[in-house]
Amino acid sequence: MNGASKSRLRRSSLSSSSWSSRRTLILSMMNKCECHYQGEDNAPNRILSLGALGVIILVYNVGVQAQEIQGVGTSLEEIQLSNLTVAGVDEKQSKLISMLMMIRLQNAPCQADQGANGTCYPRNQCALLGGTAGGTCAAGFGVCCVFQKSCNTESNQNITYFMNPDWPNTYDGSIECPITVQKVDNNICQYRLDFEEFTLAQPEPVDHQCESDLFAVSGGRPVPIICGENSGQHMYIDAGPTSGNIKINIVTSGGSYARKWRIKVSQIQCNAQFRAGDSCLQYFTGMSGRMKSFNYGDPNIPNPNPMMNNGYMEFGMQLSSQEYSVCVRAEEGFCGIVYVPCKEAMASNETFMVSSTSQNSSVPQRTMSGADQCPSDWLGISCATDTGREQQTDGSSCVDRICGGTFTSLSGSTSHAPVFSFSRPFSLRVHFNDFEMSDPRAPDQFNRGFCLDFVQQPCPQSG
């Protein structure tokens, strides 16, 4: 078809009253019709989906500046109106629609009324997809659709909330609760899991394995099994363009326990700027932040299930069988990073307990470093020092492993100290083996894991 025979989109301004009346008409038509068209590739009756790819807004007679409509993520798009057909409307309305302009709004993320994240959809499309409307978006043409799922469900939405049965109430019982998450398109390379609420039973007390309750992910890059208290933690699941779905599964068993979970699952495009680095289970951005091992027991937070821990009295024990990397994105102009123990936990000497050998946390435990002294549980930091230079204050060289009951790069010290690294990319490697008290080489007792704050260090000024 030549250019002269095409209907061109033209922009014009609309008065607020004129726009309001047309919007009412448009919304009425959107709820009554399905719009189809046949493109130049002769694909038959492709649906201009009001949900899967974008919100279609039909504007009577005139155009409108794309930026006037909140949430517009794409430019104006020419449509061959001669190929447009309309189902579910009368002839008069069909003729009217043939004069309309079309603007496509991507299903952009939105903020729902109650603070949850959703996706912008037309109201009827949101209901058909099983979502819940949480306020409006796209200048009132759409609703912020929130998708909340529980056990034995599937989802292919950009953002999904996975919750325990009867949430926001707790769950006390035995169940296998899986959800399958499907990619929205082939350009998805990662999933981010935000544990907004995560309380499962604690691990068993000897080797700290997740026996009664567990959280597991399959289908992407392998991730460690976790349990216990992990609210506020997160994970990135690598799922390259050739992989398929992931399955998240929570299994509960054993004695009485007030379990609760609400996990936000976000899909991340392969070219997204906030995509995590390869093999990073956790990924932080910004100048500073805080990282904790899974089920780290903050001594200032009481056990949420006192005397109800499946018979296990200890709360916040370091989990066994953990192997993963915690990464920090280097900000522009910053060449190093320093890790320091979390201040709130320093008074109780429980901010760093990795391969600790004493049950008495009031007694400072010395630090150990290197492969010989840290064979079982350790944190790996590339060329870690107490000075920011390869040579440390005691004359020793930088180390790559730290363990024990005190966080410092100086072996044998009983005082916490900042640990610097100027090796990029910034990464902290977590290695906890399969044993604790039953380890035949070096039995561990009272391990709680770690809580560390980090601050990026500026590059040296030249000249």
pLDDT of residue 288: 98
Rg (CA), the chain: 28
For residue 252, tell me if it sits in a domain: no
Picking from 57, 84, 106, the residue at the C-terminal end of a domain is 106
pLDDT of residue 22: 55
For residue 381, tell me if it sits in a domain: yes
Picking from 86, 106, 126, the residue at the C-terminal end of a domain is 106
**Count of domains in the chain?**
2
For residue 301, tell me if it sits in a domain: no
Identity of the residue numbered 226: I
For residue 116, tell me if it sits in a domain: no
pLDDT of residue 337: 98
pLDDT of residue 97: 43
Number of other residues whose CB lies within 10 A of the CB of residue 226:
24
pLDDT of residue 372: 82
The distance in angstroms from the start CA to the end CA of the chain is 64
Compute the C-alpha angle 223/227/228, nearest 5°.
Answer: 145
pLDDT of residue 377: 92
For residue 170, tell me if it sits in a domain: no
pLDDT of residue 295: 96
Residue recorded with tokens 């996990």: 263
Picking from 55, 77, 106, the residue at the C-terminal end of a domain is 106
Q: What phi and psi values does residue 24 have, to the nearest 5 degrees?
A: -60, -45
For residue 101, the enclosing domain spans 3-106
Cα distance between residue 46 and residue 48, in whole Å? 6
pTM: 0.76
Strands 449-458 and 153-155: unpaired
Q: Among 137, 179, 325, which residue's Cα sits nearest to residue 264?
A: 179
pLDDT along the chain (463 residues), means of 10: 44 48 56 41 39 36 33 30 42 45 58 91 92 90 94 96 97 96 93 97 92 94 95 94 87 92 96 92 98 83 51 70 97 96 74 69 61 89 88 84 92 91 96 81 75 95 69
For residue 393, tell me if it sits in a domain: yes
Q: For every residue of the chain, which 3-state class applies, written as one string?
A: CCHHHCCCCCCCCCCHHHHHHHHHHHHHHHHHCEEEECCCCCCCCEECCCCCCEEEEEECCCCCCHHHCCCCCCCCCCCCHHHEEEECCCHHHHHHHCCCEEEEEECCEEECCCCCEEEEECHHHHHHCCCEEEEEEHHHCEEEEECEECCCEEECCCEEEEECCCCCCCECCCEEEEEEECCCCCCEEEEEEEEEEEECCCCCCCCCCCCCCEEEEECCCCCCCECCECCCCEEEEECCCCCCCEEEEEEECCCCCCEEEEEEEEEEECCCCCCCCCCCCEEECCCEEEEECCCCCCCCCCCCCCCCCCCCCCCCCCCCCEEEEEEECCCCCEEEEEEEECHHHHCCCCCEEECCCCCCCCCCCCEEEHHHHCCCCEEEEEEEECCCCCECCCCCECEEEEEECCCCCCCCCCCCCCEEECCCCEEEEEEECCCCCCCCCCCCCCCCEEEEEEEEEECCCCC
CB 374 within 8 Å of CB 403: yes
CB 280 within 8 Å of CB 333: no
For residue 44, tell me if it sits in a domain: yes
Query: What digits encode the pLDDT tens for the residues 139-198?
Result: 888 999 999 999 999 999 999 999 999 999 999 999 999 999 999 999 999 999 999 999
Strands 399-404 and 378-384: antiparallel
Contacts of 271 (CB under 8 A, 6+ apart): 187
For residue 161, tell me if it sits in a domain: no
Query: What digits encode the pLDDT tens for the residues 123-154?
Result: 999 999 999 999 999 888 899 999 999 999 99
**The two structure tokens encoding residue 292:** 């904790």
